Amino acid sequence: MTSRRTVLGLLGGTAAYGVLPKVQGQAIDSGDPVATIGDRAMEIQFDSRLHSRIVARSADRAEPITACGPSEYLVTAAGVAIDSFTPGARRVEQVTDVHGRGICHTLQGVADGTLEKTVRVTLHERFPGFAFVNTSYRNISGAALPLARWVNGARRLLPAADGPAYWSFSGSSHEDRRDWVQPAGPGFTQRNFMGMNASDYGGGTPVVDVWRQDVGMAVGHVETHPRLVALPLDVTADGARIAVECDTAMTLAPGAEFTTPETFVAVHRGDYFATLTAYREIMANQGLRAPKPNAGCYEPVWCAWGYERDFTVEQVVATLPKARELGLVWAGVDDGWQTSEGDWYLDPKKFPRGDADMIALVQKIKDAGMKPKLWVSPLAVDPGTDLLHDAADMLLLNEDGSVRDVTWWNSFYLCPAYPKTVERTQALVRRILGDWGFMGLKIDGQHLNGAAPCYNPAHRHARPEESFERLQDFWKVMYDTAMAINPEAVVEICPCGTSYAFHNMPAMNQTVASDPESSWQVRLKGKTIRALMGPSAAFAGDHVELSDHGDDFASTVGIGAIVATKFTWPSDPRPGNGLVLTPAKEQLWRRWIALYNAKKLSTGHYRGELYDIGFDRPEAHAIEKGGRLYYAFYADRWDGPIELRGLDSRPYAVIDYFNDKPLGMVKPGSNRLPVAFERFLLLEATPAAGTT
């Protein structure tokens, strides 16, 4: 059920109409709208060409935030946009579906007597400010109509009065591993294609969101399978344009009809968190939801990747006592245990007795009081492997018959929609968790988010896109296989710097910052994951050594992420890596890990609606747990007031919980504190004694 906080984040008011404030600004199309659709948060006004604009509403204000223009239209093979339609029939009806009660508005229009467009816009009581859009076209002429593209939700968020300053969220994957959340000024452009943007980088979350300091807007699709669409964001001095677009060559025969995937347009206050939270709840209503994490998902991690691929079993075993002494629970055996990707044979140099040696290593991890997790990279196969010799039919092939590269391991893609690939992967999971006794999986690789269309004739795909659309089913089978063996298993998918693909999330109970390139990425990814998977989703900050200065535990602990490290001990076979746990580092590591275990903020309720990650300064995050509120502030340097949002009517005592320093009392209406800090400030607000 949609929480009150989500409703307020999207709406800034109530869902009932009541008395609506008058829209500020000029009328559209030099007259009144021919149709108006909306609720207390948003209004869509259509003119005499079925062009439209968006009006954002609050309790006392209604303001157009886009100009009037074509939002849903087709582009012909000749490059001509069919975007003006003479309005025809209109119907309004009450609906009840998986999203609850709502109102569906149907508008029809005709373009030049050749093409009929039908647009159905549905607004649900549970999701104010979120409009579902279904668009279909019918060729009513006597001639075939060659088409090149369809476009839905084309909107341009107007600049604020003080200029075109925007922040944005884009859910696409990119080889340069760029930030998912970025400032977007004039000249910013990003296509946000949901397919492959490089050989092994693709997929993502089909939402693009752009916001000003006062209001924001988002578009995306709500289909239960991924679609090969783009969600471009282009910023000029005139505003920030977003849309859902698909380049798809087709010919619409006379009398034939074409329907686009179901898309949406949303209006919100604050940053993108409200949009993604509503998106998560909407997709859950349709059967796509992340699993509830078990207790093991929140336990802190030591990973042997500090020793890299040429680790020895002796190095791993020797480090376990120190890792456990520091308070770490999971011990991850990483890349390098296998002879190759694809065959997944045990490396005889490390495991000369084969399975017996791997089982012995697992037992030593358990004897040290830790839980064993194993790294694996499905859907990749190396050249020269037995798999390629014996089962080359499993390969995903490009249209020209070539193999598809997975670049990091110099591997090739296997097709996730081919039954033999699925069966072989299930057997691997049974071996790892069942035969060897591991308790968790680290599923790793930048190729995990998406798959290219597969043209392998041996697979007999109905359409090449099946490999892309059914990737989520592959991961779900893998997850279900693991859970059948051990219901308390931890299944982590780490898509190596790329934006998580939402449709894959039902197949993981732990996520990770996934090779962050900065502490900023740790924090923005944490906020994003909590919106997409739930306010208590298990999200690991990844190896702290990848954060700013290599020691920024504060960016993990403060946002409620799980701490993880890849230190080596007592020495480092690669001294240049700087990963050895020196006495000075051990003191710091020990302090932070103990603090994480004491607070366990990862199990709290992340309050992402309270602060705007783009516009609020200093950057702020909040977590609610056990009746207390925990705040994390970040800046290179800050000397000034901070605001503690989300307090109820009681007074609260505030302490700096990292330094165990009291900072005074606050309450609603008096919730600002003067502070000075460098890098971070972590606060705990506790209701004063005797208050309820």
Q: Residue 455: pLDDT above 90?
A: yes
Taking only the tens place, the pLDDT of each residue in 338-360 is 999 999 999 999 999 999 999 99
Domain residue extents for the chain:
4-285, 299-378+421-453+462-604, 619-687
Q: In the prediction, which pLDDT does 26 show?
A: 52
Q: Tokens 């329907």, residue?
A: 259
Q: In the prediction, which pLDDT does 409 show?
A: 87
Q: How confident is the model at residue 22 (pLDDT cuts 50, 70, 90)?
A: low
Q: Looking at the chain, how many residues does it have?
A: 692
Q: How confident is the model at residue 420 (pLDDT cuts 50, 70, 90)?
A: very high
Taking only the tens place, the pLDDT of each residue in 327-340 is 999 999 999 999 99
What class is the 299-378+421-453+462-604 domain?
alpha beta
Q: In the prediction, which pLDDT does 396 show?
A: 98
Q: In the prediction, which pLDDT does 578 show?
A: 93
Tell whether domain 619-687 is in CATH 3.40.50.1820.
Answer: no
How far is 658 from 594, CA to CA, in rounded Å? 11
Q: With 0-12 CB in 10 A as exposed, 13-18 as middle and 19+ as buried, what is 549?
A: exposed
Q: In the prediction, which pLDDT does 162 show?
A: 85
Comparing C-alpha atoms, which of 160, 2, 172, 38 is closest to residue 609? 2
The domain 4-285 is placed in CATH, from the list 2.70.98, 2.60.120, 1.10.10, 3.30.160, at 2.70.98
Q: Residue 4: pLDDT above 50?
A: no
Q: Average pLDDT for residues 501-517, to the nearest whole number?
A: 98
- End-to-end Cα distance, the chain: 26
Q: Residue 613: pLDDT above 70?
A: yes
Taking only the tens place, the pLDDT of each residue in 591-603 is 999 999 999 999 9
Q: Average pLDDT for residues 227-245, to the nearest whole number?
A: 97
Q: Residue 230: pLDDT above 60?
A: yes
Q: In the prediction, which pLDDT does 21 show?
A: 53
How far is 537 from 561, CA to CA, in rounded Å? 9
Q: With 0-12 CB in 10 A as exposed, 13-18 as middle and 19+ as buried, what is 317?
A: middle
How far is 175 from 226, CA to CA, in rounded Å? 20
Percent of the chain with pLDDT over 90: 92
Q: How confident is the model at residue 16 (pLDDT cuts 50, 70, 90)?
A: very low
Q: Is the Cβ–Cβ distance between 151 and 245 less than 8 Å?
A: yes
Q: In the prediction, which pLDDT does 24 show?
A: 52
Q: Residue 692: pLDDT above 80?
A: no
| Least confident residue range of 496-500, 515-519, 556-560 | 496-500
Taking only the tens place, the pLDDT of each residue in 64-107 is 999 999 999 999 999 999 999 999 999 999 999 999 999 999 99
Taking only the tens place, the pLDDT of each residue in 165-203 is 999 999 999 999 999 999 999 999 999 999 999 999 999
Tokens of 568: 């080596």
Show the beta-strand stretches assigned E in 448-529: 490-494, 511-512
Q: With 0-12 CB in 10 A as exposed, 13-18 as middle and 19+ as buried, what is 460?
A: exposed
| Least confident residue range of 74-88, 155-169, 260-274 | 155-169
Answer with the residue of higher pLDDT: 28 or 233: 233
Q: Residue 241: pLDDT above 50?
A: yes
Answer with the residue of higher pLDDT: 437 or 1: 437
Q: Is 190 left (phi over 0), alpha (psi -120 to 50) or beta?
A: beta
- What mean pLDDT is reported for the chain? 94
Taking only the tens place, the pLDDT of each residue in 128-144 is 999 999 999 999 999 99
Q: With 0-12 CB in 10 A as exposed, 13-18 as middle and 19+ as buried, what is 622?
A: buried
Comparing C-alpha atoms, which of 44, 46, 37, 58 is closest to residue 103? 37
What letter would DSSP give residue 579?
-
| Least confident residue range of 58-62, 224-228, 307-311, 449-453 | 58-62
Q: Is the Cβ–Cβ distance between 38 and 44 less than 8 Å?
A: yes
Q: Is 396 left (phi over 0), alpha (psi -120 to 50) or beta?
A: beta
